[in-house]
Each structure stands twice: as C-alpha cells, then as structure tokens.
Structure 1
Amino acid sequence: MAESTFASRSYRDDGVVLRTYKLGEADRIVVFLTRQHGQVRAVARGARRTRSRFGARLEPFMVADLQLVHGRSLDIVGQAAARASYGTTIAADYPRYTVAAAMAEIAERLTASDSDASASQYLLLVGALAALSRGAHAPGLILDSYLLRALATAGWAPSFTDCARCGEPGPHGAFSAALGGIVCSDCRPPGSPAPAPDTVRLLAALLAGDWPTADASEPGARREAAGLVAAYAQWHLERAVGALRLVEREPTVP
C-alpha cells in the first residue's frame, strides 16, 4: 500500500494552547485542547526562530485555527491563524496569568485521556479565558467557577444544596470532597470542615454561573470557597495542582 499523502493525513480544528516545550534549537512542542479532537500534542517547526511564520500565535492561552498533520508520535503544526489573542492581555497581568496557568493545567489533566467531552471542555476553557482577559469578574472567582464547571463536565459535579451522599434536602453545614460536596450531619465524616452559609451560597453561584451573587460576595467567603474548590479538584485529580499555589487571593480583611 502506498504511503499516505500529506493531504490525507492533515486536518483542521480550533485549538487553545495549554502548554509549550522547547524542542531542539528552533522547534517547539505545543499542547493544544482542540474543539473536535481533544488534547493534541504537535511539533511547530521553527516556532522559536525570530522570523517564525507562527509568530506569537502558539503562545499559552492563545486560540488559533489550526491545520495539523498526523505524525507517528507527535502531530505537526502546518498552519496557525489567530482566532483570539487572550494570551497577550493575560500575560501582562500577574494575577490573571497565574489563574490562566491553573486553568490550563486543570484542562490538560482532564482531557489527557478523555475526548468524549472535549468540545464542552474546549468551550468552557475558551469562555473562561475570554472573561479573564477582559476583566469581567475577579480572577479568583473566574478560576473557581471554571474549576467547578470543568470537574462537573468530567463527571464529578459537586452538590452544594442537598446532601451529596444521601440526597437529604439542604441546607447542610459540612463539606466533604470525597463524598462530593455538602453533606448532612448523619453523613458527615469526622473532621469535615463546616463552611459559612455565605461560602456555600457562593459555591453554588459559581457552579451555576450566577455572577451577580458571586460578584457581591465578601472576601472571607471567597477565600474559604477557594480552599474548598482546591481541595475538591485535587481530590478528584488525585494529586496537587501546582499552579494553584501561585494564585493570588483577596485578603480576608479589606
């Protein structure tokens, strides 16, 4: 059988850049989350040269219309046309940059082996990066809302109303990452944190996309919610999310 042609191995897709690595003297490995093909790792040849035809279109958090070519171990980036330049605005602001880095790390983890929900995960991440780049909400709130929604899309939807274990109607006063969110007094494991009611309301708002409620929340509720979201994410991902340690949070006292 004749070797497959370049045209037969090429495909187009929209992708957001999650991460890049240096390869050799001038090339770059780029990790994309694409709309139709899930997570793709591809080589951008000559991308690190000063006069590269890719320019800044393959930097983290950029969204591009891609032409890719299937390879043996890594695909190859044939063309990249910018769709949204979120990376430039985000990289200029450290709090936004650390939030975007955490979201990209989570997206990479969640899509490493699951392509079934790739379109939903792609749209969720691009929407969060767009909101972050234009300063639509506090960066920490965008991060926590994204984390909760991304985990829910992956099959780990938390409950912040009824008991996550037995379904007893809420409100309830304890939280368990292992059991899936808020739990009643009968189901509460020993040592479970007891978040403030305002914190629970904020968590429910972030999951539902209720931005008026989230934007009106107090710094103390935001900090407590952030800790619970991080614990929930790291429990289900089964290891720490390194970029979360760099995210700046609002002080408890204004």
Structure 2
Amino acid sequence: MPLYRDDAIVLRTHKLGEADRIVTMLTRRHGKVRAVAKGVRRTSSRIGSRMEPFMLVDVQLYEGRNLDVVSQVETKEPYARRIAEDYALFTAATAMVETADKLVDHEREPAWGQYRLLHGALGALSRREHDASLVLDSFLLRSMALAGYEPSFSDCASCGRPGPHRAFVVGGGGAVCETCRPPGAAAPAPETFSLLEALLSGDWSVADASEVRHRRDAAGLIAAYAQFHLERKVRSLGHVDRS
C-alpha cells in the first residue's frame, strides 16, 4: 500500500469495532481524508488523545482500498486540549469543523484554502484572541466566500447598485437595494452591516468594538446564509454560546 504523510486537522471521529475509530481529517495537501485509527480506544493507546476533533497533527497513512490506515501521529498544535476547557470555545470550534466537513464535500478534493482558514480560526480560539462567537462568524463568512458564496454587504447583490443599502436577502446574495428588495427582507441596522463587513474582511478593530445586539443580529444572518447555501443544517450552530 502507498504510504504518505501530511499535516491534518481532525474534524470528527466514529467508533469502529471494539477498539478502533474512523477519523475524518482535513489535510494540507490531500483534502479531506477518512482513515482507520486502530486501537485508539484502548487505554494503552499512545495516539488516542491525538486523534480527537480540533487537533492539528502530522499524520502518516497507508492508502487503502476504501479507507486509509493511520500509521503514525505526532501532535503539532494541541488545540483540542485548550478549546475543551471552555464551553463557548468548544461549541464554536464544533460548528467550525462541522461546516468545514460539509463544505469540502468530496474526499481528496483540493482544499488548501479551507485548511488554512480552519487552522487559523482554531488557533485564534485556542489563544482566546477574540470573542469566540466573532471568530466563528468570521470563519463562516470567509469559508463560504472561499467556496464561491461570498455575500455582498454594500453594493446590491442583485443589480450591483452602489450601497450602502438597508435590506438583506439570505437567498439573494446579501444586501439589496430598494428596487430589488423582495417582501419580507431583513433590515439590519447600519452597525450590523458594518460588523458583517468587518468579519468578512478580518477587520478586528471594528469587530471587537461592536455591541452585543449587533453581534447577535449578525450571527443570525450569517447562520441563515451559510445553511441556505450549504443546503443542509449545521446542527452544532444550535449549541453555540451567544451570551
């Protein structure tokens, strides 16, 4: 069997048999990979703690017919250990890895941009650089943009008329002008639009200074936008701590 090595972020795991796990990883060079980690559920396993969600590892694998097989694992960044200490960090990270798993739909599909974005977001969470919900919302917007679903928060997403505009349409690509505005469109406050733009561009001076009510409004729009374009529910978002 061909042997290969890569940096990987563990997205999720499933039990297999009495002692093994199937591990889904997002790798730097090989995209999404599913592999069997043998014996990791035994208390004597040396690699069990390294094969947990959020961990950044250097992993060596044998290429299998249906599933690859984990041969060696070395920890690069123990994100899981730091994130698991705080509920807000844990729920935000869980929503991130679930979103990344859904966005990178096919195994071995090139996903360098998504890998790098997730790596940076988990690192920011583990170091507590910003509020956890803001890091999550920025990740959601930027990951959707990488996937080809970048929303507009200024110019009209329908006709291109220069903004700013007051309406937001989840299924219409973001901000829309009064002419293109459909009935029932959301009307976020200007401060919410400013926060959305800051989260997408990574302007943390604006994002960190935002008010709680605008963060909550932005979070609702981002969650709706991401799930609409993913065409599936991100279950972990329902557990995110928005307090």
Q: Normalized against structure 1, the TM-score is what?
A: 0.94
State the partner residue of 1:231: 224
Q: Does 1:175 align with 2:168?
A: yes
State the partner residue of 1:130: 123
State the partner residue of 2:28: 35
Deviations 1:165-187 (Å, cap 9, x if unpaired)?
11100000000111111111111
CA–CA distance in structure 2, aligned partners of residues 216 and 114 of structure 1: 39
**Alignment equivalent of 2:215, drawn from 219, 222, 225:** 222
Q: Does 1:203 align with 2:196?
A: yes
What is the deviation of 1:115? 5.4
Give unmatched runs, 5+ long, in structure 2. Answer: none
Q: Could you tell me whether the CA contact under 8 Å between 1:117 and 1:153 is conserved in 2?
A: no
Q: 1:139 to 1:206 in 2, by over 3 A?
A: same
Equivalent residues, number: 243
Q: Report 1:28-177 matches (<5 A).
A: 28-113=21-106, 117-177=110-170
Identity of aligned residues (%): 58
Q: Normalized against structure 2, the TM-score is what?
A: 0.98
CA–CA distance in structure 2, aligned partners of residues 215 and 117 of structure 1: 33
CA–CA distance in structure 1, aligned partners of residues 66 and 182 of structure 2: 46
CA–CA distance in structure 2, aligned partners of residues 33 and 212 of structure 1: 30
**Alignment equivalent of 1:242, drawn from 228, 235, 240:** 235
What is the deviation of 1:229? 0.1
State the partner residue of 2:9: 16
Question: What amino acid is aligned across from residue 61 of structure 2 in structure 1?
Answer: L
CA–CA distance in structure 1, aligned partners of residues 213 and 107 of structure 2: 36
CA–CA distance in structure 1, aligned partners of residues 193 and 139 of structure 2: 17
Deviations 1:102-158 (Å, cap 9, x if unpaired)?
000000000122755511100000100000011100000000000000000001011
Over the aligned positions, Cα root-mean-square deviation in angstroms equals 1.0
CA–CA distance in structure 1, aligned partners of residues 143 and 81 of structure 2: 24
